[in-house]
Amino acid sequence: MKTTPLTDIHKEAGAKMVPFAGFLMPVEYSGIQDEHITVRTKLGVFDVSHMGEIWVRGPKALDFLQWVTSNDVSALYDGKVQYSCLPNGKGGIVDDLLVYRFAEDEYLLVVNASNIGKDYSWLVERGKEMGLTAGKEIENVSDEVAQLAIQGPLALKAMQKLTEEPVTDMKYYTFKKTEFAGIPGAIFSTTGYTGAGGCEVYVPADKAVRLWKAVMDAGKEYGIKPIGLGARDTLRLEMGFCLYGNDITDETSPIEAGLGWITKFVEGKDFIDRDLLWKQKQEGVERRLKGFVMIDRGIPRQHYTVYNEAHEQIGEVTSGTMSPMLKQGIGMGYLKKGYWKEGTPVWIGIRNKFLKARVVKPPFYKPED
């Protein structure tokens, strides 16, 4: 099993370590509830060095990415980040990812840890068709990069202490290459998977411990805590953010998943599955990923069945939890057509009971609430 450069630090901090996506990762330190609330109200730091990083470079880089990703890469400018997905040629999703534009001929793709090998192989195979070479124009540098996510309303204020470059007024989904915590060439990105604000910082793997210690020190006066994968999941779910393997897979289309907003049918962008996804957009789909909140007391979990009032099966839960901020069960799942409207009552099968819920549009929790 793989480890990140910070594994010893997590163990010293008393983290509960679990296998995740082929890595040994911290699932919690002080407890999921406490860590979740810390990120929502102050700031916390996640080790996300298990994530994958793949460079795409060269004169064909833009054309290649326009073909293999669903979003419009031509809309990017230097220093801008874009959320996108890789259609799989059969109407499903290879992975969802972030695309960073460094130059017109240089892009960094940040992919899910569980899909690094799969994504790289997919990109290399597609690249061959355009004359792009593995290790040259398409390069997997995942093992060489460490990444921390510093998330929460006080994150940017605290992190400003570690760089001379102004970062507190950076726009959402932008990035800078700068010296950070004394580490030259760090990538400082106003992205994250929590909806709480903050940043993600990329440095060489051998600088990970130095970065972690500097971040913890800079955040100390603001109440920073280390945060595990457990709270990462509850935070992303409160925002209605998709998790690959749960809410989106090789069997779900971006249109079904409510990701039409990252599926751009612009002129000149002939991307993989364009015709199929255009047909789905025009004609509609039979199921859609929808959010719901529990009315009856209960916690929905992945694979639980969703029913209508007559107790007929109409869907399946893909993600569910007890929201630490709302103190209410929340979830997402694919529902049949006819049950998508906000406020529609549905029932979740939990321990041989039918517990009532209602369909809502995420985010479930708005930080200003």
For residue 205, the domain's CATH number is: 3.30.1360.120
pLDDT in tens, 115-138: 999 999 999 999 999 999 999 999
* Mean predicted lDDT score pLDDT of the chain: 98
For residues 314 and 274, membership in a common domain is answered with: no
Q: With contact defined as beta carbons under 8 Å apart, do 171 and 192 qualify?
A: no
For residues 61 and 83, membership in a common domain is answered with: yes
Q: Is 369 a residue whose pLDDT tops 60? A: no
Q: How confident is the model at residue 367 (pLDDT cuts 50, 70, 90)?
A: confident
Segments forming the whole domain that contains residue 23 = 1-285
For residues 204 and 257, membership in a common domain is answered with: yes
Q: Is 251 a residue whose pLDDT tops 80? A: yes
Distance CA 166, CA 79 (A): 14
Task: Name the nearest CA neighbour of 205 among 7, 26, 55, 10.
Answer: 7
For residues 369 and 253, membership in a common domain is answered with: no
Q: With contact defined as beta carbons under 8 Å apart, do 341 and 322 qualify?
A: no
For residues 197 and 322, membership in a common domain is answered with: no
Task: Name the nearest CA neighbour of 51 among 192, 187, 147.
Answer: 147
For residues 296 and 166, membership in a common domain is answered with: no
Chosen domain end from 263, 285, 307:
285
Q: Report pLDDT for 126.
A: 98
pTM over 0.85: yes
pLDDT in tens, 197-224: 999 999 999 999 999 999 999 999 999 9
